[in-house]
Amino acid sequence: GENVEQHPSTLSVQEGDSAVIKCTYSDSASNYFPWYKQELGKGPQLIIDIRSNVGEKKDQRIAVTLNKTAKHFSLHITETQPEDSAVYFCAARKSGYSTLTFGKGTMLLVSP
Amino acid sequence: EAQVTQNPRYLITVTGKKLTVTCSQNMNHEYMSWYRQDPGLGLRQIYYSMNVEVTDKGDVPEGYKVSRKEKRNFPLILESPSPNQTSLYFCASSDLRGPVANVLTFGAGSRLTVL
């Protein structure tokens, strides 16, 4: 089955810095790559996603890049703010399947 | 408000005492799923359902049962809980078609402790 590796497991940055979280996947048939943010005491919530026919997608301060050849995708957060502090999960889904395989998560801490 | 509702949010129980965690969604989603979240292990899928009366095992189904008798409800049943089932559980749902297909909406979580 699909295997998703996520790094780093924790990331500490100063407010205003950029943060990058990287994921790799194993199954070349995967074609959908979402990112979820989990705030303390809440369930994960989708923040951005990308499909395999696109190399990059942006939404204000967040962006996701996808390299299908290398089978990796990354989340980029610019101008980080304390409210960006949360656990972030990447995931991958194979074409024709409904289930997502999640990475193990990255705890992002943004210090004021 | 579109949401996934889980109950109970917190539960402490003892080994072997059957329990059910309920999950209900009000978005008419076909797909529903249960995950458990453990430190260092991320989100692991327990069971999922693509429609009424259709359920399938995820990655860690041992010790759990589910049912999907109605579209909106997807209860998680622990027939004989054991301490290794102490975890944070999430229910999630999504459409299977359309522009938001496969975008999961998660519940707020149910923290279960088995003594």
At residue A39, the pLDDT reads: 96
At residue A53, the pLDDT reads: 81
At residue A101, the pLDDT reads: 92
Q: How far apart are the first and last CA of chain B?
A: 36
At residue B1, the pLDDT reads: 87
Whether B114 has its CB under 8 Å from any CB of chain A: the answer is: no
Per-residue model confidence as pLDDT tens for chain A (112 residues): 789 999 999 999 999 999 999 999 999 989 999 999 999 999 999 999 998 888 899 999 999 999 999 999 999 999 999 999 999 999 999 877 778 899 999 999 999 9
Residue B97: pLDDT band (50, 70, 90) is confident
At residue A99, the pLDDT reads: 82
Nearest CA in chain A to B91: A43
Contact state of A105 with B42 under an 8 Å Cβ cutoff: yes
Name residues whose C-beta falls within 8 Å of residue A60's C-beta, 6 or more positions apart in sequence: none
Contact state of B31 with A32 under an 8 Å Cβ cutoff: no
Read off the pLDDT of each residue in B62-82 and give the average, rounded to a whole number: 97
Read off the pLDDT of each residue in B77-102 and give the average, rounded to a whole number: 91
Contact state of B108 with A46 under an 8 Å Cβ cutoff: no
Sign of the dihedral through C-alpha B40, A108, A98, B29: positive
Whose CA is closest to A67, among A55, A59, A77?
Answer: A55
User: Could you say which DSSP state residue B67 is in?
Assistant: -
| Amino acid making up residue A65 | T
Name residues whose C-beta falls within 8 Å of residue B97's C-beta, 6 or more positions apart in sequence: none
C-alpha distances in angstroms, A97 versus A41, A42, A106, B31, B47? 30, 27, 25, 12, 14
Please report where in the chains the tokens 């589910």 appear, as a residue: B66
Chain B nearest C-alpha distance from A9 (Å):
8
DSSP string across A60-79: TTEEEEEETTTTEEEEEE-S
Residue B11 reports pLDDT greater than 90: yes
Cβ atoms of B60 and B47 closer than 8 Å: no
Please report where in the chains the tokens 């399947």 appear, as a residue: A97
Please report residues of A whose CB lies closer than 8 A to that of B103: 34, 46, 49
Read off the pLDDT of each residue in B53-61 and give the average, rounded to a whole number: 94
At residue A17, the pLDDT reads: 97
At residue A109, the pLDDT reads: 98
Residue B109: exposure state from Cβ atoms within 10 A (0-12, 13-18, ≥19): buried
Give the mean pLDDT of chain B. 95
- B102: alpha, beta or left, given left = phi > 0 and alpha = psi -120 to 50? left
